[in-house]
Every structure is written in structure tokens, then in C-alpha cells.
Amino acid sequence: MARTGILIETENNGVKDTSLGVLTAAAGQEIYALVLDTDPSAVKDKLAEYGADKIIGIKIGSGSPDLAAHALAAAIKEYDLTALLGTASTEGKDLFARLAALMDQPLVSDCVAVTLDDKIVKKSHFSGKTIANLKVNGSLFLCTIRPNVIEPIAAPANGEILEFTAGVEDPGLVKILEIKKGDGGKIDLTEAPVIVTGGRAIKAAENYKMLEECAAKIGAAVGASRAAVDAGYAPHSMQVGQTGKTVSPKLYIACGVSGAVQHFAGMKTSKVIVAINEDKDAPIFTKCDYGIVGDIFEVIPALTEKL
Amino acid sequence: MKICVCLKHVPDTAASIKLAGDTGFEDSEIKFVSNPYDEYGVEEAVSLVEKEGGEVVIVTVGKAGAVTTIRGAMAMGAHRAILVKTDSQFLDSSLTAQALKAAMEQDGLPDMIFTGKGSVDTESFQTQYRLAQSLGMPVVNEVNSLTVDNGKAVVEKEVGGGEKQVMEMSLPCVVGATKGLNEPRYPKFPDIMKAKKKKIQEIDLADLGVDASAGRVVIEKLETVPERSGAKMLQGSVDDQVTELVKILTEDEKVL
């Protein structure tokens, strides 16, 4: 049993569901949950329920990504951790890459499976066309896990809170000038358990409202295809696929998306894919699980009503 | 100003990957292209140099065939290139960063380095960080907006949920480019012809003191992922179809 650190992501003083899956990935190890800039006592119950033996609160304060990496490195040394796992979110991928570079240790980003005892991970290569089994040979095992691929399983543990002061300074290389808040309350695409995506057939930016109404009923995030983004119907931050975001929700509903290879590159590891398209010969129907041939402006409102 | 752009030669996303042995793939018959994210870096470097003067040097670590991808970047306006030759598509990220650093040091360190936010073949998302760390330079990845002024780079990146961060770095620095930064240009015929005469310096990886077998992340096996075999198409009226869909998603698949 090795001492394994898990970097916990929080939101409004609560643990993100994606982090619970990462705790489950380390089941059987002695788990140290690392919480950045959040009161550990606010998340103690949840983390203990999902297997955290110890909980370490780390104060960063500044939001500087390099400072966070230095603080994590200090915690790894202080508690003699042999592994650190996290979520492959935008922030998680960035922070782990900084940490791996800083400590000169190997890292595998965006894993879909982890075997900690053997130091073996599985991850996508070639936009999901192949899965690589990788052996990681370092004195520290670092990896981030693709959101939603590991179903969280409760495994009650002590969740003892440890006091920790990192005592590190920001190297001052990257200065944050401004943080522009998003619309607020929107679920992050890469972490959403369900995604409803609108393609070119959505025809206008205001028609995304129809998808948002559907998404709101099932706690889903709304995405867009490249064609819809390039036509100006949606911002790039909503784009799913190559040159956009890679997502892996439990349920992906593609509405009026033709199904280009580049779109599949960003969503093919979704558990269940549903397509709704007027064109019965659309390529999307050849590689999804369930299909409805129909006008999205009729089918989506009818679906929203039934949900 | 001297700008280096790290460019990777990768299989086209539309290519089907046929495995060869346990850890390799057939690369002789598939189309290779420039890593799509790197093209935003090439475009940004070329337009900066068009404004401020200087040169754009492409630095590639890859197989000999990468020359075609390098010529493409030269047609976009890069001035010359360094190709560090390896035998494998899968070089450990730490070793790739070491090779990039050694090649740049030999050539003279640049004022800025561009990379893509990640490569679409191995999807490791870390080489730019290791390169920056080893050169003591600041790095920001997934940059979709950039202004360079007075020895400083101000960059913007999206961090999820629509939130954006604006950050400042002093030059020299490393920028990982993504969509939104610019629209990469399509080279015109005369530019393609001109690119054929530009200089590509070739160096063997071993001559930079990098041991290709010293990687710490080792591929044990590559497996193909079975494609879905076509959808179950729902039938009947719109009402029938959505009723059945909701039933399937809640009761059979249990994803709602």
C-alpha cells in the first residue's frame, strides 16, 4: 500500500464529482487528499466517504499556476507521497505539467485507466483511435484522469485533517493580470456528465436556447460543432472536437451534427452517443448508439417535455 | 526578434491507424500533416516577425519524413528550420524537450518559443512545460490571444466554464497556441516554390546527447479501439421516438 496523493478540485466549497472518481481510482492505497485554497473541514465528510485517509489543506491565495506547482511539490516531499493523481481538466492538466517539469518526473495526462501497483496506465493516442498501455518509470507517479471515466464508489475512511504550510514563494514568472468570469453557473464541458451539442442545423445563435432548455432539465452542458462555431452561432469555448474540447460524458446527444472525423475525435469515448439529424445518411449515424431521423426543431422540444 | 516554433509531424486525424507489432503502427501509407495546433504558432510567429522584423525558425523532432510538414510551415513564411531526426513517432516528452532545448542552444536561444497546446498523436500535453522549465522561461498553454509589447507578452487563456485569465510574461517565454489565436494562412503558389529553397539543417538526436531509449514513459502495448457499428434507429412518430429514447436512456443504459 503506497501513500497516494489525490489533488481534489472544488467548486463553491464542495468537491467536484470528477474528483470522487479519481479517489476511487486509488482505492486500496493510503490516500492523502490535497485541497487547494478551500477549507478542508468544508469537504471533510465527502472526502472521507470516498476513501480519503488524510486531508491536507494547502493555501495558495494568488492563483499563480507556478506557485501552486511549488506548493504541491512541497506537500509531496513533506508527506513522502509516491504518487499524485488528479483530474484532466484544463487546470489539472496545466498544474500537473508544471509540477512534472518542476520535479523532473514522468507524467501521463488524460488517462482512462490506472493500475497503481504496477504503474501502468491506459490513455488515448491518435484522437481515440488507439489506446496505449504505458508503463511509468519514475520515483514519483504522476497522472491526470479523464473526467467521468471512473465511476465514484463510496469507501469510507477516516478523513483526518492535517495542518500544512507549504512555505514556498512564487517564482514570479507568470503574473495574472485579470480574471474574466464566465456567465456563471454554466457546467464546464470537459467535466459535464451529459452534453447536448448543436451543429450547423441549429441555424442561428438564438436557437441554442432550445438546447439550453433541454440541458437544464438533465444537468447537462451545451456544446457546439466546429461548423456551428465557424458560422458564428456559438463561441469557440463551446466547441467539441479537434481544435476544440475533448469530452467523455456518460451521455452525448448530437443535434444536427453531421459527424466529421474531427468531431468524433473529441467525443468518441462518450459512454452513450445519441444523434438527431434530418439527413438519414449523415455519417454520425454510422458511429453512434441511438439515432432519430428528424427535424431538431420538432424532436428537441418533444424530448425536453419528456425528460 | 528571433522566434522558434516547435512543429510536430503527425498522422492526419482522418487516417486510419493500422497497428504493426505490439507498439508500432504502419506509417508508410498514411498521410502525415502538421499538428493542427502548431499551425497557430507558426502563423503567430510569422505575423509577429512581419511586424517587428527578425526570423522564424522551425524546430522539429521527428522522422526524416517530417521535411514535408516543415516545408508547409516555410510556405507560410518561416525562414529556416532544424530537424532533429529520430526513428520513432513515440519519443518520451522529457527527451523531446531535451532535444528541442539542445537544438535551440546550438542555434542561439530565441526571444520567443511557440508550440501547439498539445499534439494530436500522443496527446501528452507537457513538452512545452518541460522545455520552459529547462530554459528557465515562463510558459502559458492554451493561449487564444496574444500581444507582445516592450519585452512583455500579455496572453489570454480560457480555464473552463467560460472563465478567462489574462496573464503577463517577460520575454523570452514559451506560448502554447490554440484555436482563436489567429487564422493560419493558406500559402500561395509562389510561397510554396520559395519554401523549397529554404534551408533545413538536419541533426541526429544522438548528436545532441539525447538517448532515445532513456524514456521514462514506455509503451507496452498499443490497441485499436473498436468503432461503434451503427446506430439503433428509433421508429414511429416524433412522440414515439422520444418516449422510447427516454426509456432506453433511463432504464437500459442508466445514464439519466
What DSSP letter does each residue of A8-24 carry, written as one string? E-EETTEE-HHHHHHHH
**Model confidence over A242-301: pLDDT tens digits?**
999 999 999 999 999 999 999 999 999 899 999 999 999 999 999 999 999 999 999 999
C-alpha distances (whole Å) from B48 to each of A18, B6, B41, B168 are 40, 16, 11, 17
Residue B221 belongs to a domain: no
- Give span(s): CATH 3.40.50.620, chain A: 3-162
Same-domain status, B206 and B247: no
Decide if A303 and B93 are in contact by the 8 Å CB cutoff: no
CATH code of residue B208: 3.40.50.620
Q: What are phi and psi of A224, to 5 degrees?
A: -140, 155
Q: In this complex, do B161 and A187 lie within 8 Å of one another by their Cβ atoms? A: yes
What chain B residue is nearest to A304 in terms of C-alpha separation? Answer: B242
| Helices then strands, each counted (H, E), chain B | 6, 15
- pLDDT by 10s per residue, chain B, length 256: 999 999 999 999 999 999 999 999 999 889 999 999 999 999 999 999 999 999 999 999 999 999 999 999 999 999 999 999 999 889 999 999 999 999 999 999 999 999 999 999 999 999 999 999 999 999 999 999 999 999 999 999 998 777 899 999 999 999 999 999 999 999 999 999 999 999 999 999 999 999 999 999 999 999 998 888 889 999 999 999 999 999 999 999 999 9
Asked: is A3-162 a CATH 3.40.50.620 domain? The reply is: yes
DSSP secondary structure code for residue A191 in this structure: G
Q: Which of B229, B129, B111 is nearest to A102 (CA)?
A: B129
DSSP code for B108: -
Please, where in chain A does CATH 3.40.50.1220 lie? 189-306
Q: What is the mean pLDDT of residues A166-177?
A: 94
Planar angle of CA A11, A15, A20, nearest 5 degrees: 135
Indicate which of B91, B119, B126 best probes the interface with A, i.e. most A CBs within 10 Å of its own CB. B126
- Flag if A251 and B92 touch (Cβ within 8 Å): no
Residues in A 61-80 with any Cβ partner in B closer than 8 A: 63, 66
Choose, out of A135, A174, A178, the residue to mutate when testing the contact with B (most B CBs < 10 Å).
A174
Q: Does the pLDDT value for residue A45 go beyond 80?
A: yes
Extract the runs of DSSP E, i.e. beta strands, from B45-172.
Answer: 55-62, 80-85, 112-116, 139-149, 152-160, 163-170
Q: How far is residue B256's CA from residue B249's CA, in Å, rounded to a whole number?
A: 6
Burial level of A12, CB count in 10 A (0-12/13-18/19+)? exposed
pLDDT band, residue A185 (cuts 50/70/90): low
Residue numbers of the domain that contains B113: 2-214
pLDDT at B254: 94
The alpha carbon of residue B141 is apart from the nearest alpha carbon of chain A, in Å, by 7
* A147 to chain B, closest Cα gap in Å: 13
Greater pLDDT, A187 or A194:
A194
Cross-chain residue pair B129–A100, CB shorter than 8 Å = yes
% of chain A beyond a pLDDT of 90? 90
Residue B164 grid coordinates: 478567462
Q: pTM value?
A: 0.95
SS3 for A275-305 is EEECCCCCHHHHCCCEEEECCHHHHHHHHHH
Q: Is residue B206 located within the same domain as residue B249?
A: no
> Which triple of cell numbers denotes residue B133?
522549465
Residues B110 and B237 in one domain: no
Q: Searching chain A, which residue's CA lies closest to the CA of residue B179?
A: A243
Contacts of B221 in chain A (CB under 8 A): 132-133
A189-306 belongs to which CATH class?
A: alpha beta
Q: Are A131 and A123 in contact (CB under 8 A)?
A: yes
Cross-chain residue pair B238–A298, CB shorter than 8 Å: yes
Q: Is A10's Cβ below 8 Å from some Cβ in B?
A: no
**pLDDT (0 to 100) of residue A184:** 58
Chain B hits for A103, Cβ within 8 Å: none
Indicate which of A173, A288, A295 best probes the interface with B, i.e. most B CBs within 10 Å of its own CB: A173
This complex has an ipTM of 0.96
Overall average pLDDT of the A224-235 stretch: 96
Count of domains in chain B? 2
Asked if pLDDT for residue A183 goes beyond 70, the answer is no
- Report how far Cα A56 is from the mean position of its chain's Cα atoms: 22
What are B76's three cell numbers?
507560410
Q: Do B94 and A104 touch (CB under 8 A)?
A: yes
